[in-house]
């Protein structure tokens, strides 16, 4: 089936005896055994539960991968991946990265004896130079958060060779627009809190891989730690995924039109959106993705203007997240990237004049009207 049909029909309850169209919420912590040494396939909900399991299969099939795992949040997914590494391992990550991933890498991983290096993962000669004998993995976010830098996934695979693990955070584009496993990644990771869930009502995270052995190790981690997604949250993400393809189409339309409009606003100095032909990652995006997504960052003329916009927006919400049906505006400096060092923020362009928009599915005219009055 094509992606749109998988979104709608991809989650199936294998225990269905009633004809229920929706996968039920199996709100049970434990499962009784038919006999000694016998199992229904479910024993204890930390290990697996019958609402999470179809969701994991659904996300795996959307990403064209063999195995999917659903976590309590995107960060729980990143942390589980880090559990595959050992003390002394070297990790390379995209320099412009979601601030929570930077916090996890800097604080928790360095404490665990892992060495983390940040660089522009689209600079292949630099990347080749930084590979060390102990480099275990490269962690790529593309487009990156919040500067919308695009990394060539195929080129990274070629540069790092077959032995270094390639992880791609696909939160911004979703499998509707980009499928990193088909481009050479070993793992694709998501904050399902964003577009996959799509309604700003639940946290979730995902990892999909074709490496069965690593998938088993990840399952061992979730079963041991208890970071698998709960039944109710799994239900909400299954429901959200049914309209993922439609939401992406509408969000992306709103984003492209809003990006074009922003470029003509006197108080807007720069617009970062790969869908604009002048964006340095425009052609590359076209070569590896089926769209540009619905995230825009833009720089205004002063910190005062940035503050005014955040204070004055009406139905556009000043909130930290993205990927839902509601249009959100974020101040990366104080919100998503507050834990990134000032020096690094300055180097990347995350200033007190930078704002980030996650376009929702509202009427475009209303979005532009709200932005216009906030910028006035
Ligand atoms: C690109 C990206 N990856 C991962 C995460 C972490 O996900 P979660 O908030 O679900 O833990 C986020 C959260 O904003 C994100 O934007």
Least confident segment among 100-104, 199-203, 253-257, 327-331: 100-104
Tell me: do 165 and 297 sit in the same domain: no
> Out of 79, 96, 169, 370, which one is annotated catalytic?
169
Tell me: do 24 and 144 sit in the same domain: yes
Please state, rounded to an integer, the average pLDDT across all residues of the chain. Answer: 96
Give the C-alpha separation, 178 to 287, whole Å: 10
Neighbours of 137 (CB within 10 A): 21
Phi first, then psi, for residue 358 (nearest 5°) are -110, 110
Tell me: do 225 and 337 sit in the same domain: no
pLDDT of residue 290: 98
Residue nearest to atom 15 of ligand 1 (CA): 98
In sequence order, the 6+-apart residues with CB closer than 8 A to the CB of 89 are 114, 115, 134, 135, 136, 137
Of residues 137 and 348, which shows the higher confidence score?
137
Q: What is the CATH number of the domain that holds 348?
A: 3.90.1150.10
Residue nearest to atom 8 of ligand 1 (CA): 74
| 98: annotated active-site residue | yes
Tell me: do 273 and 348 sit in the same domain: yes
Tell me: do 296 and 236 sit in the same domain: no
Tell me the mean pLDDT in the region 324-342: 90
| Number of domain units in the chain | 2
pLDDT of residue 348: 87
Peptide bond into 321 cis (omega under 30): no
In sequence order, the 6+-apart residues with CB closer than 8 A to the CB of 29 are 44, 45
Give the C-alpha separation, 220 to 214, whole Å: 10
Tell me: do 44 and 116 sit in the same domain: yes
Give the C-alpha separation, 282 to 165, whole Å: 26
Q: Which residues line ligand 1 (CB under 6 A)?
A: 73-75, 98, 100-101, 141, 145, 169, 171, 191, 193, 203, 205
pLDDT of residue 345: 87
User: Does the pTM exceed 0.85?
Assistant: yes
Residue 285 DSSP label: H
pLDDT of residue 338: 81
pLDDT of residue 184: 98
Domain of residue 369 covers 245-375
Tell me: do 175 and 71 sit in the same domain: yes
Tell me: do 48 and 96 sit in the same domain: yes
pLDDT band with cut points at 50, 70 and 90 for residue 107: confident
Q: For 169-201, what is each residue's pLDDT tens digit?
A: 999 999 999 999 999 999 999 999 999 999 999
pLDDT of residue 347: 86
Tell me: do 260 and 128 sit in the same domain: no
Q: What is the CATH number of the domain that holds 194?
A: 3.40.640.10
Is the pLDDT at 112 greater than 90, yes or no? Answer: no
């Amino acid at each position: 089936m094509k992606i749109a049909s998988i979104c709608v029909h991809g989650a199936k309850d294998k225990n269905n005896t009633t004809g229920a169209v929706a996968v039920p919420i199996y709100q049970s912590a434990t499962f009784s055994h038919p006999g000694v040494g016998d199992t229904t396939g479910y024993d204890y909900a930390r290990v697996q539960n019958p609402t999470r399991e179809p969701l994991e299969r659904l996300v795996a099939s959307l990403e064209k991968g063999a195995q999917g795992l659903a976590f309590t949040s995107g960060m729980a997914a990143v942390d589980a991946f880090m559990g595959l590494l050992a003390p002394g391992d070297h990790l390379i990550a995209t320099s412009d990265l979601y601030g929570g991933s930077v916090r996890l890498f800097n604080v928790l991983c360095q404490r665990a004896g892992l060495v983390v290096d940040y660089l522009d993962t689209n600079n292949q000669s630099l990347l080749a130079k930084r590979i060390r004998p102990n480099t275990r993995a490269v962690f790529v976010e593309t487009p990156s958060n919040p500067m919308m830098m695009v990394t060539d996934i195929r080129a990274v695979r070629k540069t790092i060779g077959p032995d270094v693990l390639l992880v791609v955070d696909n939160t911004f584009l979703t499998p509707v627009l980009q499928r990193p496993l088909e481009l050479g990644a070993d793992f694709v990771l998501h904050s399902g809190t964003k577009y996959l869930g799509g309604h700003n009502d639940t946290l979730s995270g995902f990892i999909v891989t074709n490496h069965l052995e690593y998938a088993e190790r990840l399952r061992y981690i979730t079963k041991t730690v208890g970071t698998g997604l709960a039944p109710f949250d799994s239900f909400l993400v299954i429901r959200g995924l049914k309209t993922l393809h439609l939401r992406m189409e509408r969000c992306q339309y709103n984003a492209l039109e809003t990006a074009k409009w922003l470029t003509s606003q006197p108080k807007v100095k720069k617009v970062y959106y790969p869908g604009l032909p002048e964006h340095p990652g425009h052609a590359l995006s076209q070569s590896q993705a089926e769209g540009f997504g619905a995230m825009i960052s833009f720089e205004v003329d002063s910190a005062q203007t940035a503050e005014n916009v955040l204070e004055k927006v009406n139905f556009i919400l000043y909130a930290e997240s993205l990927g839902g049906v509601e249009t959100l505006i974020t101040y990366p400096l104080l919100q998503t990237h507050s834990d990134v060092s000032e020096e690094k923020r300055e180097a990347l362009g995350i200033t007190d004049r930078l704002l980030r928009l996650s376009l929702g599915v509202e009427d475009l005219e209303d979005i532009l009207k709200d932005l216009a009055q906030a910028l006035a």
